Amino acid sequence: MPYKTSAMVRFALRLAYDGTDFHGWQRQEPPDSDPLRTVQGELDRVLAEVMQQPVNCQGASRTDAGVHAEAQVAAFSAECRIPISRMAAALNARLPDDVRVMAAWQVPSDFDPVGDALSKGYRYEIAQMRPFRARLPFDRRTVYPAQHDLNIARMRAAARQIVGEHDFAAFAHAQHGRDSTVRRVHACEVGTLPEDRVAIDVSGNGFLYNMVRIIAGTLVEIGRGRIDPSAIGAILASKDRAQAGPTLPPEGLRLRWIQYPEDRAEPRDAPVG
């Protein structure tokens, strides 16, 4: 049944975006210059137009500049005067082409897209570049080109050791801004895709600043033979960022899914954009 009300209601949106031309998810408004272009900033602007009131949305993941999303979840509260069945289409008609609302649904008034998330899944995608083989031009936005062969067996052996609850200080940016660097990684898998692609899939209950990109960078160094797979335990124990591999560029990373409790998750019949 179409939903119309003048009361304050909480909604969730599933978003997909190409992060190349955004300064990340989180709104950034430097005091001495114009606001930077962010996904949250664009979404808030359009939500205010559609809802005809100021709106401040919250995102489940603060993706960095250049990082993509297939299933970011954002929540906001507003006095909604349009049917929820039309919400995604109304927002997409006003949003720029590099961000889309894929679905919209109503959630409990206390829904927290960050705190209620049970697990998040990211993928880092790599292209193994062969000699004299040109890179596909559209890959430049979504795939990291590795200029060397990768030993997948070595990478898989190392990835298994990342699974579990650990202190991931060695796999986080020095300015991660968190009180605790302990996180639980539910899965870390290295798979192969067509066209010499490698996919590193990582899921967990939460991630530190740059954590997935550093995990990917460390696994690439292991695949190249520059770090031994058995070193993962020592790297974790060191809590020293310098012991892990490099932070790979943002273009290869995308947020693929977020899991919520059933009463807060996207329903199967949620209106889509």
Residues catalogued as catalytic: 64
Beta carbons within 8 Å of 242's beta carbon, 6+ residues apart: none
Amino acid at 240: D
Check residue 230 and give left, alpha or beta (phi > 0: left; psi -120 to 50: alpha): alpha
Classify 59 as helix, strand or coil.
Answer: strand
What is the number of alpha carbons within 13 Å of residue 234 lying toward its C-beta?
Answer: 8
Contact 66, 19 (CB under 8 A): yes
Radius of gyration of the CA atoms of the chain, in A: 20
Q: Let me know: does 55 contact 78? Beta carbons within 8 Å.
A: yes
Token representation of residue 141: 């936005």
